[in-house]
Chain A
């Protein structure tokens, strides 16, 4: 059981300019340590800042005060690498739809707001430090079958040898835009990874290149997904709402169909 202890740290509290915010941030030294919420007062926040730039300002202040800055994952800061992963005011990637945390701007908040910032919480994603979690379970699911078994020799068919109906290609693309951030898992009350797995299974199920291995693929990926401790889908649909790429839960249905077909075939 985690005990909540509140520290109070005041950073850059220039009341005249910008917004003044109260941040309640999850601090946890490492995977074994007990975490706690810590409170920070942050002033002079510009509405044009991105959420992560606001975190940069907080960290700059903490370092100058000789304290340990807040650790969080981030890299591209343009919504495509899938590295940033914050649970903000109870929502994965914050209050907006179709964006990652790095694309969230402070204009979505107002002066005087209190913002709760937590890591993804799921058995499949153990905390490494503060807001940073371990999502390597996703990589292992991918390794179990998320590929077409073709060598990279370049000696394949000409790219235009197999026409793919545009509608199928477009649907496969939509599924393939998944950035593997894990918001679906963090949002799901069951901690299910089925939107992530369903998107990958669908991409290949919709393209002729993926057909020869479709049964093995879905079986192996689902098996690994279960082994990683992710829960099952019970059609709540929260994952689709909080997915920064708006991946449709239709992909979960397609995965289930593929899985059933694979089982029937034996």
Chain B
């Protein structure tokens, strides 16, 4: 298949303007007769649904949750990047663009990333106008903080709940349009197929999760804003319901899946506590502004700590290894996520882990307590303050900055992080890969778009912190509303699309058959059993480190899991009513197929870049070794009917404006 990315000609900084000036428009009277389906109501979906409805299109919005406000964007903690340069620290559109391309290890598209940086400032204006309560300083202006992989402060935030506030902003914009009748909300609905007629997306098949009814919905365009597929690992920081099903079903209908092996493992999450674990909890990257990461320097100390014979606070400074500061003096604890995660794994694999399972490192705030405490003592003129008084003052400052995160940690771990360092370990957090889209965010199915984490386009092989929120809102508020018209201009005389077309009948039939076969297999084993097994295989062989041998093994194991799943999974309950186990089963079936594709993609990419680390390809110092002359492309996979035999298509990546270099944070 030939991949046409539709990137406009001309200088980088004029491409988007030029595109907007020449894209076709749909007049207001015609918009009223055009239906658009938006699947998912996270930042990308809610902002897209609100914007399209304001423009005059008739929108149907679906979410599997009980309310659009629950989408997992709500859980994003740290912040949102924007090239406002309010801090006057040298930030600019170009720098945000450059940091994002470099952070992504030179595996993303220049034109898409530049556009993202360009519209970033608008997002902040928009959100403030909507009443999003960002953090402010005492002068009443907006405050910023710093995130990994950058040397400026461009992250806007609302304590540790930035995602919540941004999503509620988009949800309120969407609610306004629902109230006006411009959006029809279908909550507790799950999309199970895209209906393609004459090569164009013409609607979807969805299941009403309350009644179990299989429904047909037609539209002139479909936008998939369904998030990432991190739950393929079973354990991740994603919500329990986050899934790949909508994207995967579109893939099966002809949308290519790009770079599926590019997954992000976040370095600072709360470690696994036992076999019962159902999900993992993130500790915001912002903590790395003030926390220092370390493990014991000597193995005997690590062993003593694991056996609970030694406390971390008892260990002298010269017996600690602040390994990020040692290896990466320029960025220290604020190296990008992929680098920090691998460094933690390297220390733990070498036997320096600090919890019972040996899979944890310390995130220690002791030096910040002292630094902030001394600052406070100076400000307050307390020159004779004792050490204890200084530490107490410092703890207050840290509490103001991260109080909710410290509290969250204590609830889960039952240890007070003000008294003993936090224990953290990397966990799956985000997926850079996703549906292949062109510059207009259209997939390889005409009229089917993918926005936000569901697409692949902006973060290359590694995403920088606070950029997911930026991309979700950029796509939904400022990109799709412009690009969709260029396609819909041809649809003004199509008229209402009938759901009686044979393609709708066939797609519905297909969904019904799948559900029936899941029910009728006489299995005895709960769905979660297979999901956990799949997740463990992918984590072990397609997680933070991958090898040819391991990936081949994983592929054969996944094929066994698939067979076992369809034979032995038990779906209790009824088809025609609320049935969470059935929902899970359909999602797991798609995760199995996706998992196999991830391993294939990782096996095919004989290099290390960003989150994709192949053990065979590393420098002497253990850093990722890219192979630019061979692998400087987007791997876009085509479904063939057999999930084990996909076809690889390549979109070459062209860098006209940035010099491709080895990424260094040393």
Contact = CB atoms under 8 A, between A and B. Distances in A.
Given A52-B278, A76-B74, A147-B173, A139 B185 contact: yes
Contacts of A203: 131, 133
Contacts of A210: 131
Given A157-B129, A173-B158, A63 B136 contact: no
B50 A152 contact: yes
A178 to B, nearest CB: 9
B171 interface: yes
A60 B187 contact: no
A80 B187 contact: no
B526 A60 contact: yes
Given A134-B66, A135-B66, A163-B141, A81 B158 contact: no
B1 to A, nearest CB: 34
A248 to B, nearest CB: 15
Given A81-B74, A128-B210, A152 B47 contact: yes
B115 interface: no
B526 A148 contact: no
A254 interface: no
A210 B128 CA distance: 11
Contacts of A184: none
Given A63-B572, A203-B133, A56 B528 contact: yes
A163 B140 contact: yes
Interface in B183-203: 185, 187
A113 interface: no
B125 A107 contact: no
Nearest to A83: B70
B89 to A, nearest CB: 16
A75 interface: yes
Interface string A176-211: 110110000000000000000000000110010110
Interface string B57-101: 000000001111111101100000000101000000000000000
Contact of B125 (A46, A136, A154, A173): A154
Interface stretch (B116-124, B307-315, B629-637): B116-124
B478 A75 contact: no
Interface stretch (A34-42, A64-72, A257-265): A64-72
B70 A60 contact: no
A50 B278 contact: yes
A62 B580 CA distance: 14
A76 B277 CA distance: 14
B279 interface: yes
Nearest to A30: B577
Interface stretch (B408-416, B420-428, B503-511, B617-625): B408-416
B572 A147 contact: no
Pick from B51, B273, B276 the residue with the most CB of A within 10 Å. Answer: B276
Contacts of B408: 78-79, 103
A166 B274 CA distance: 43
Interface stretch (B159-167, B293-301, B451-459, B586-594): B159-167
Given A76-B239, A80-B164, A169-B136, A156 B129 contact: yes
Contacts of B528: 56, 60
B178 A173 contact: no
Contact of A30 (B179, B274, B578): B578
Contacts of B411: 99, 103, 105
Overall SS of chain A's interface: loop
A151 interface: yes
B133 A166 contact: no
Contacts of B69: 82, 139, 142, 180
Contact of B240 (A77, A79, A136): A77
A76 B412 CA distance: 14
B140 A63 contact: no
Contacts of B277: 53
A162 B481 CA distance: 27
Contacts of A162: 128
A76 B282 CA distance: 11
A66 B572 CA distance: 7
Contacts of B131: 148, 172, 203-204, 207, 209-210
Interface in B132-170: 133-142, 158-159, 161, 164-165, 168
A107 B125 CA distance: 45
A82 B70 contact: yes
A57 interface: yes
A151 B173 CA distance: 8
Nearest to A144: B179
B533 interface: no
A173 B159 CA distance: 9
Contacts of B478: 154
Pick from A29, A66, A134, A159 the residue with the most CB of B within 10 Å. Answer: A159
A139 B477 CA distance: 21
Nearest to A55: B278
A165 B185 CA distance: 36
Given A144-B179, A169-B133, A77 B124 contact: no
Contacts of B578: 30, 71, 128-129, 132
B387 to A, nearest CB: 31
A54 B133 CA distance: 36
B54 interface: yes
B412 to A, nearest CB: 7
B168 A176 contact: yes
A159 B84 contact: yes
A149 interface: yes
A204 to B, nearest CB: 5
B278 A142 contact: no
B11 interface: no
Contacts of B175: 139, 142-143, 146-147
B119 to A, nearest CB: 7
Contacts of A209: 128-131
A222 B633 CA distance: 56
Contacts of B68: 139
B570 interface: yes
Pick from A66, A82, A157 the residue with the most CB of B within 10 Å. Answer: A82
B486 interface: no
Contacts of B74: 76, 80-82, 179
A166 B119 contact: no
Pick from B129, B135, B407, B524 the residue with the most CB of A within 10 Å. Answer: B129
Nearest to B160: A80
B499 to A, nearest CB: 25
Nearest to B68: A139
Contacts of B282: 78
A48 interface: yes
A15 interface: no
A49 interface: yes
A152 B477 contact: yes
A71 B580 contact: yes
Contact of A48 (B136, B273, B481, B577): B273
A151 B47 CA distance: 11
Interface of A: 29-30, 46, 48-50, 52-54, 56-57, 59-60, 62-64, 66-69, 71, 73-83, 98-99, 103, 105, 107, 128-129, 132, 134-136, 138-139, 142-144, 146-154, 156-160, 162-166, 169, 172-173, 176-177, 179-180, 203-204, 207, 209-210
18 contacts: A50-B278, A53-B278, A56-B278, A56-B528, A69-B581, A76-B240, A78-B75, A78-B281, A105-B412, A147-B130, A152-B51, A154-B119, A156-B129, A159-B142, A160-B86, A162-B128, A177-B164, A179-B164
Given A68-B572, A156-B126, 11 more contacts: A48-B274, A63-B526, A63-B570, A71-B580, A78-B408, A81-B70, A148-B131, A163-B136, A172-B133, A176-B133, A209-B131
5 A-B pairs with the lowest CB-CB distances in the bound complex, closest first:
A163-B140, A154-B122, A147-B172, A143-B179, A156-B129
Interface of B: 47, 50-51, 54, 65-72, 74-75, 84, 86, 119, 122-131, 133-142, 158-159, 161, 164-165, 168, 171-173, 175-176, 178-179, 185, 187, 210, 239-241, 273-274, 276-279, 281-282, 407-408, 411-412, 414, 477-478, 481, 524-526, 528, 570, 572-573, 577-578, 580-581
